[in-house]
């Protein structure tokens, strides 16, 4: 495959997809390239928060101003991906009461609408809150489904004639005469390599941006910071909760879909692929959640995972919480003498559109394209399949009144009963594949075809991002083998490929359960082990995996009912 483009964008997260859409809207021939599925990296591994900017008002006002501006834009252009939860900043008994006044002044200076409400009103709206809360402030936070957002961006790119190449890894950049000329790609599924020519290349690889820039001889020092999150099996609240103190571990609780996500930690990472979760991180997050919602630690923790923040500050050496959360756009023509190459790094998912606009401006200036950015007004399509899973409902906000941050007082929710109603309407109950998230055979077939059915190395994780397959309480214990069977029956994968996909997905789900082996999670893990190792004998099959092999669970004592302490309740041995 030898093709020529005006721009190749490397990185299929929100920023890369945002750059590709911006350029496509300006009339350029664009190719978006991603080494795995869209949203496989940092964009698919965050807490789901649409930032108001309040978190950074005191410590990083530049980022705070960017967040509140983009928050308002995204509500207009990506309504299908956003749930207007509203947000609360709370002074708990563990927080310094004096910080609240400093924070409120900082919000006003940054243009963030922060309004103090009575604790009684906050409790009326969210009864699960800590009743010992001292002060409460309402802000325009929200929840954003990054999978839906990036899918919508991809749909728009394709509709404008752009190319979206998933499972294509960049293995080299061609530089000649002081300018990038092409990128060499390897098709991860087929193993074939080919060259894509381009007048310009945008490096939006996030935490991997330094590795891509080095391919063109350009030094870019990204300081990866790993953040661990835990999804609880209950939603708890319908409003984003924040601790009113300097940013720290476990001080954000985001209701997203049917769960609540507590996050995050901040640990410097040597390698952006280091996403392992440590027991102390889970324990810390669960303990901090208890300060916001009493009884939090007694609920079932469903899954733990980690993402890597691509922190960057030109000439800076700050790490972790001390590093700024704003972004940088590097024009390597002036910086390193390599024309046609632009790197965009840092920032947050909330600011992806602004980051994309700045990078696209440099590309257009280089190519002599005099067309303005249109992404502030371009409303993204709704990528959700025909069997809908959302509803819009009138609701009250945290003070018991209407939400004045939006023209209408509506919120969009992920509501499982609406999926159930659609299943019952279509009389498709006999083809229900995932009972937890109510995913049907028809949805799996539709999504599989959209991903290019018939290709080797089918990854069920792609369908998880599309449909929430395997994201419910059983963590794919029952739907995994059913979905693999559907892929085989429809001809999207032969027996070996379907078995490989099944084994890989089981291992990926196990990775997120492994740090949470106590109480109900341990019981579920033992059941899943019996299904896949005992009944199906999956660990005995000679199946090549993208991830590490299945490991058995062994219990040193009685099943535990509490989160992990200093001594682990279970041990894990290699197969």
Q: For residues 70 and 354, is the Cβ–Cβ distance under 8 A?
A: yes
Count of all residues that appear for the chain in the document: 575
pLDDT for 432 = 87
DSSP bridge partners of 187: 168
Which range among 198-202, 261-265, 321-325, 414-418 has the greatest average pLDDT?
198-202
At 294, the pLDDT band (50, 70, 90 cuts) reads very high
Give the whole-angstrom CA distance, residue 346 versus residue 331: 15
Window from 76-80, 183-187, 221-225, 402-406 with minimum mean pLDDT:
402-406
Structure tokens at 240: 């984003």
pTM attached to this predicted model: 0.87
Quick: pLDDT tens for 160-196: 999 999 999 999 999 999 999 999 999 988 899 999 9
Q: What is the arithmetic mean of pLDDT over 11-18?
A: 98
Q: For residues 375 and 21, is the Cβ–Cβ distance under 8 A?
A: yes
For the chain, which domains are there? 3-42+147-222+322-367 (3.50.50.60), 80-143+225-306 (3.30.9.10), 416-572 (no CATH)
Position 413 pLDDT exceeds 70: no
Q: What percent of the chain has pLDDT over 90?
A: 63
Position 568 pLDDT exceeds 50: no
pLDDT for 378 = 98
pLDDT for 559 = 34
pLDDT for 114 = 98
Specify the 3-state DSSP secondary structure of 250: coil
Q: What is the arithmetic mean of pLDDT over 144-160?
A: 95
Position 481 pLDDT exceeds 70: yes
Quick: pLDDT tens for 539-551: 777 665 555 444 4
Position 328 pLDDT exceeds 60: yes
Quick: pLDDT tens for 461-478: 888 988 889 998 899 999
328 backbone dihedrals φ, ψ, rounded to 5°: -135, 140
Give the whole-angstrom CA distance, residue 382 versus residue 185: 30
Closest CA to 563 of 345, 304, 379: 304
pLDDT for 161 = 97
Position 569 pLDDT exceeds 70: no
Q: For residues 260 and 299, is the Cβ–Cβ distance under 8 A?
A: no
The residues, any chain, with a CB within 8 Å of residue 381's CB and separated by 6 or more, are 80, 152, 155, 156, 159
pLDDT for 456 = 37
Quick: pLDDT tens for 95-114: 999 999 999 999 999 999 99
């Amino acid at each position: 495959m030898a093709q020529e483009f005006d721009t190749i964008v490397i990185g299929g997260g929100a920023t890369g997809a945002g750059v590709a859409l911006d350029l496509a809207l300006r009339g350029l021939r664009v190719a978006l390239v991603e080494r795995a599925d869209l949203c496989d990296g940092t964009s698919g591994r965050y807490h789901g928060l649409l930032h108001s900017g309040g978190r950074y008002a005191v410590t990083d006002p530049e980022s705070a101003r960017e967040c509140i501006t983009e928050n308002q834009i995204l509500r207009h252009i990506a309504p299908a991906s956003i749930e207007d939860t509203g947000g609360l900043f709370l002074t708990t008994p563990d927080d310094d009461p004096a910080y609240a006044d400093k924070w409120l002044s900082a919000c006003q200076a940054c243009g963030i609408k922060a309004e103090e409400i009575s604790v009684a009103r906050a409790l009326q709206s969210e009864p699960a809150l800590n009743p010992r809360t001292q002060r409460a402030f309402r802000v325009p936070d929200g929840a954003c489904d990054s999978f839906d957002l990036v899918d919508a961006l991809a749909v728009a790119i394709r509709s404008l004639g752009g190319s979206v190449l998933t499972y294509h890894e960049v293995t080299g950049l061609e530089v000649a005469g002081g300018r990038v000329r092409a990128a060499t790609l390897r098709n991860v599924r087929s193993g074939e390599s080919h060259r894509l020519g381009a007048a310009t290349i945008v490096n939006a690889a996030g935490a991997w941006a330094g590795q891509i820039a080095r391919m063109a001889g350009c030094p870019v020092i990204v300081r990866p910071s790993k953040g661990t999150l835990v999804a609880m099996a209950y939603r708890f609240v319908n409003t984003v909760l924040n601790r009113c103190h300097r940013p720290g571990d476990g001080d954000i609780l985001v209701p997203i879909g049917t769960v609540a996500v507590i996050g995050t930690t901040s640990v410097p990472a040597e390698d952006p692929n280091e996403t392992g979760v440590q027991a102390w991180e889970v324990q810390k997050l669960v303990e901090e959640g208890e300060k916001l919602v009493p009884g939090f630690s007694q609920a079932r923790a469903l899954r733990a995972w980690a993402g890597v923040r691509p922190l960057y500050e030109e000439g800076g050496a700050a790490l972790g919480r001390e590093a700024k959360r704003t972004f940088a756009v590097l024009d390597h023509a002036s910086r390193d003498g390599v024309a046609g190459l632009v790197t965009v790094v840092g920032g947050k998912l909330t600011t992806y559109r602004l980051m994309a606009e700045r990078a696209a401006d440099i590309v257009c200036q280089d190519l002599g394209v005099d067309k303005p950015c249109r992404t502030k007004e371009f409303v993204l399509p709704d990528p959700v399949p025909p069997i809908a899973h959302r509803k819009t409902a009138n609701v009250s906000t945290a003070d018991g009144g209407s939400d004045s941050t939006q023209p209408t007082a509506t919120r969009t929710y992920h509501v499982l009963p609406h999926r159930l109603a659609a299943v019952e309407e279509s009389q498709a109950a006999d083809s229900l594949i995932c009972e937890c998230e109510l995913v049907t055979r028809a949805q799996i077939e539709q999504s599989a075809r959209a991903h290019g059915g018939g290709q080797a190395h089918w990854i069920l994780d792609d369908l998880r991002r599309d449909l929430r397959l395997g994201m419910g309480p059983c963590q794919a214990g029952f739907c995994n083998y059913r979905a693999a069977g559907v892929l085989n029956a429809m001809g999207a994968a032969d027996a070996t490929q379907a078995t490989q996909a099944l084994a890989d997905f089981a291992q990926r789900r196990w990775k997120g359960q492994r740090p949470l082996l106590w109480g109900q999670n341990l019981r579920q893990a033992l059941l899943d082990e019996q299904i896949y190792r005992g009944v199906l004998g999956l660990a005995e099959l000679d199946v090549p995996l993208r991830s590490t092999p299945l490991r058995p669970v062994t219990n040193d004592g009685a099943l535990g009912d509490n989160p992990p302490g200093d001594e682990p309740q279970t041990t894990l041995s290699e197969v």
